[in-house]
Structure 1
């Protein structure tokens, strides 16, 4: 058991990400490589499947018959059959489906007459008959082309069909995305007599007109292979497409909700989630197996509620991105929910619901997007007018312009769509993808802010170690402490003259030097900075700490010279001089609870005490040889000095004292070494 455990632990250690790995991930070149790999994979996918996809979808909404019946003899009888029609109607002279019935074949009105829609409205919840006569010449032409299937477009009601007085098919057209296709026999196509197709339509759906002969699916004869391909495509387009879009919008809603949950201040994520849910509900209405479970009126009512919610959430999305007051957003949300719940109740009838739906799509939805867009554009205007217009546009204003412009564009699209100013095929077959495209656009803008917030977190005082999911138990390395000498004049000058924070400027130089060498700032208080150099990140941490000391001394001198040249130094102060110390040891990051808040903190780990050692050796600088207010010195234990001498021989000449005995405030004796940034100081000492 012990062997297995040890093996598993070794394997886990081998798989564990090292500090070098983390540094490589954070390196700017790594993300660029990942971008290139993603772009390459995406291009391979697009080039492989893009061309066949486009060939398939470019004509999904059209079916060109091999033989187009442009001047078809299609007639309508706006009434019922005098007698019930059996399956073999040729034996019932009083049945309209009988090929000899004068009511349909002689006295019937032309189907494509100008008054058809008005006359058929009067047959709602009743029935009427359609009759198509095909002459022998047309049948012969279809036979020669191999087009053995007759396409009759769509019927959005229940229907029954007879061919030459023989019953062949019955269905409920509103549930079938494919057009009506009748397979004619060889005998029918070789007939020397006209072929007559009678259709008994039960007007039980409030789709006007129910006999939908559109230009995309004209009357005609098609080959079986053509019909099969189109039927397959239509079933995907009318069934698979809305389901795929509904699931996509649902997943987007979940994504934005979980992005909002840990950061409630980002209200736009919450309203993006609600907007995505409303879009998912709008698409779910078209999913065939869901649609079949509902009555037509119920489906219309759900659609009304959903469209009201979609319009309201669109407006709230814009207002939330514009950072409108939380109270106003809550009121708007409550009103939207109430309006969505009441919409079906205010339109109880089917015709009323159809009229309301048209009004919502053509007016309310564009208005919702427009209001949200105007809120964003107004905030952008306020930001731009509050600053010098000759300068660069602030990032926040630019995002507001993009977001508001996008919402205004969507409002324009829905206005054109609602007033039927877009091509019919586009409105019918590509609807739904515009929401997906706009949502991706809005999400990209909103998530850009999220990415920048993450970048700010990475730059925040909280260390990279504290941001890890599992805090490391022990980090080996060197602790480096720098304490600015004679800082009181700097603070007094700032308090009296409200001048530049010179101590802060010096600390900034310390941060830059330390971070440039891979150090981690673990504490900053007034004129003292504590840095830790991780042994995993830096192979020779002692040499790195000594280089940091030398670099900080050099930049302190340069900064002092520049500030004195500008006359910003307080009187009687010659420069930025500091005392420093280093200590070898181990530390670990922890989180401390302080009055309900978590604060990043560090503590010593293992059997070492680098914080105590660094603090005591820093105090010993006042007793070190060569110490003065205008000198920068570093104090370390003699054993560390020996290691430092081996690690960085070039700095060995800067030691002021070696193996020097000094006692701390508790009387304990230490053997220390003192290092200076100036090689000449050793001679003076």
Structure 2
């Protein structure tokens, strides 16, 4: 080998070095490094943003100019108005012409003003304000010579004391703050402002979007800077940032769904993220000032309908509703998205969009949350499911609660009484973080299921080429009794999962010691097969395995007691319930989340995997004569009848009895009780 080849072979890692990269200490170290870097980035940024937002939202004009002080004339100026309106006596912007400032109509009633402006489609109207001597004096003393107006979405010209200070069109919209010479406030004549405005867009409001009462008026240079920063953050930076974040989040979950298409909740979370991205796009000035108004409003309405359905669909999907229900709900949503823009006038589209997002979305999202809660309640009602699916229960409750928080955030966004501070922090930005949380909840379930699937053992039958058509043998299903107590007590010691795994490992050992093959473990349950082709008496081997299981668990009980963990052991001991059937299954390979995993399926005309599960449930109907808890195994009566010579350590509670299974189906069964054994004292 050349020097270069030897160098390469020494630099690249070897297969046996992979384990050292995924040790607990290595993984913990990487988590700590990444979280530390995240905190270094997030904490200073959050603190600075928080302090600035508090300062921006507290901003108020030093000299307030209430809307009732602003007068309006809905008529055309009698004469032309030049850059110096004082040279044209008939111009309504001439400070010597009292028509505008003597008008009895004010801007106090927004709806009445909007109706009058709409009636003058394409025609000019005038808005003006005349400062009182007291306001001028206060402005001069406070050095407040910047007049904060707001936005004007249309054609406009602005004069102050007859001098034209600004002109603009619809596409020139920006937050307007006029600087007025400070010396004008010290003069004896009043300062008068006049605005000539023409509505040139079909937006559902008057073009003169004056600031709210707190900010409309005269302020200092510092106050104007805070106001413009607030405005730029709210209408430019924030929408662009969250548009990008929601867009990336949508594509991330779409990519995850593409490799696990059975997880439709990922698709609907991706749709919801894209909907939030479209929602943010409506506030990006580059977009809504460039695009055609009809297109903007149509897209906004379709987005609102999609938003109203997406939360519900995500909830129904996570609760595992029937695919047919999801399909019809999804196509109803698509149909409404495509049809509504053609049925509603452009000017009324924002009103309909607000109704869909502010009202209907709350109802539909609540239905999605309710579906999660109902599924959780259904699982909780069954004690067996409550234990086996406790993580699933917790995630259903968290997902449903997350959807309810979406309703709260929706109300913050659309409720008129919500404080500006809350709207800035939670209203239109909060849904991203909530959606990220919902996605992580869904992903945690996917991660658990993937880990469970990967934890399934690969039998020698899966290594055969081709795979055998069937493997005949005795199928054994067992699960622990009282595992909830073991988990609960173990959690107090920080060893909940470890102790449960210890019990399962002792049961697994019993299967292996008697020639069986473990097919699957999940929670506190284990499934195994004792192949007929390799064992002379597979059914007897399965029974010997359950005897060995009880012995192994009794030894574990002794170890718990010797180590001072007697509380971990139920008073009657660690017992299990079981079921055994004789049948055929076949090894298969399944694609799960992009991975090829070993699994088992039923074959022929039998449903042995379903049958053994149903027999396991019947154990609840069987109780030993002494009333104490014990390990009991249910088998079909036919199986006991055909294997009469078994030499077992336990005893038969009965050899034939009719028990009702699921849907009232009768089963002829026998019940085997595993006997207690005398063990040598445990030496620690």
**What range describes the TM-score normalised by the shorter chain of this pair?**
0.5 to 0.7
1:34 is matched with which residue: 24, 30, 34? Answer: 30
| Whole-Å separation in 2 of the counterparts to 1:432 and 1:341 | 25
Secondary structure of the 1:110 match is coil
| Whole-Å separation in 2 of the counterparts to 1:561 and 1:412 | 52
Q: Is residue 2:418 matched to residue 1:422?
A: yes
| Whole-Å separation in 1 of the counterparts to 2:328 and 2:207 | 42
Unaligned runs of 5+ in 1: 467-490, 496-500, 513-523, 530-555, 567-590, 601-685
Q: Give the conservation status (yes or no) of the 8 Å contact 1:161–1:170.
A: yes
| Whole-Å separation in 2 of the counterparts to 1:311 and 1:177 | 31
Q: Is residue 2:442 matched to residue 1:446?
A: yes
Change (3 A) 1:166 1:431: same
Q: Give the conservation status (yes or no) of the 8 Å contact 2:515–2:530.
A: no
Change (3 A) 1:157 1:12: farther
Secondary structure of the 2:70 match is strand
Q: Is residue 2:291 matched to residue 1:294?
A: yes
Q: Over residues 482-534 of structure 1, what are the superposed CA-to-partner deviations in whole Å (9 max), with x where a residue is unaligned?
A: xxxxxxxxx89999xxxxx999724179999xxxxxxxxxxx995999xxxxx
Q: Is residue 2:148 matched to residue 1:159?
A: no
Change (3 A) 1:375 1:11: same
| Whole-Å separation in 2 of the counterparts to 1:219 and 1:564 | 77
| Whole-Å separation in 1 of the counterparts to 2:318 and 2:475 | 44
Deviation at 1:430, TM superposition (A): 4.8
Deviation at 1:15, TM superposition (A): 3.5
| Whole-Å separation in 2 of the counterparts to 1:171 and 1:12 | 70
Unaligned runs of 5+ in 2: 463-472, 478-505, 518-528, 535-544, 556-587, 599-684
| Whole-Å separation in 2 of the counterparts to 1:157 and 1:452 | 56
Q: Give the conservation status (yes or no) of the 8 Å contact 1:62–1:216.
A: no
Q: Is residue 2:55 matched to residue 1:66?
A: no
Q: Aligned residue for 1:88? A: 84
Work out the number of aligned pairs and report it: 503
Deviation at 1:238, TM superposition (A): 0.7
| Whole-Å separation in 2 of the counterparts to 1:527 and 1:86 | 104
| Whole-Å separation in 2 of the counterparts to 1:559 and 1:406 | 46
Change (3 A) 1:593 1:211: closer
Secondary structure of the 1:106 match is coil
Q: Aligned residue for 1:227? A: 224
Deviation at 1:563, TM superposition (A): 7.8
| Whole-Å separation in 2 of the counterparts to 1:599 and 1:69 | 71
Q: Aligned residue for 1:535? A: none
Q: Aligned residue for 2:357? A: 361
Secondary structure of the 2:130 match is strand
Deviation at 1:436, TM superposition (A): 0.5
Q: Give the conservation status (yes or no) of the 8 Å contact 1:135–1:193.
A: no
| Whole-Å separation in 1 of the counterparts to 2:298 and 2:252 | 28
Q: Aligned residue for 2:379? A: 383
Change (3 A) 1:226 1:238: same
Q: Aligned residue for 2:538? A: none
Change (3 A) 1:12 1:223: farther
Q: Give the conservation status (yes or no) of the 8 Å contact 1:297–1:349.
A: yes
Q: Aligned residue for 1:667? A: none
Q: Give the conservation status (yes or no) of the 8 Å contact 2:412–2:418.
A: yes
Change (3 A) 1:337 1:70: closer
Q: Is residue 2:279 matched to residue 1:282?
A: yes
Which protein shows a greater Rg? 1
Q: Is residue 2:84 matched to residue 1:111?
A: no
Q: Give the conservation status (yes or no) of the 8 Å contact 1:127–1:203.
A: yes
Q: Aligned residue for 1:315? A: 312
What's the C-alpha RMSD, in Å, of the aligned pairs? 4.2
Q: Give the conservation status (yes or no) of the 8 Å contact 2:70–2:106.
A: yes
Q: Aligned residue for 1:405? A: 401
Secondary structure of the 1:261 match is helix
| Whole-Å separation in 2 of the counterparts to 1:187 and 1:244 | 42
Secondary structure of the 1:109 match is coil
Q: Give the conservation status (yes or no) of the 8 Å contact 1:62–1:217.
A: no
Change (3 A) 1:72 1:452: same
Q: Over residues 270-314 of structure 1, what are the superposed CA-to-partner deviations in whole Å (9 max), with x where a residue is unaligned?
A: 111112112111211211111122233331111001111121222
Change (3 A) 1:158 1:9: farther
| Whole-Å separation in 2 of the counterparts to 1:402 and 1:136 | 60
Q: Is residue 2:259 matched to residue 1:254?
A: no
Change (3 A) 1:106 1:298: same
Equivalent runs, 1:227-626 vs 2, <5 Å: 227-350=224-347, 352-387=348-383, 394-415=390-411, 417-423=413-419, 426-427=422-423, 430-461=426-457, 505-507=510-512, 526=531, 562=551
Secondary structure of the 1:153 match is strand
Q: Is residue 2:34 matched to residue 1:45?
A: no
Q: TM-score, normalization: structure 2?
A: 0.65
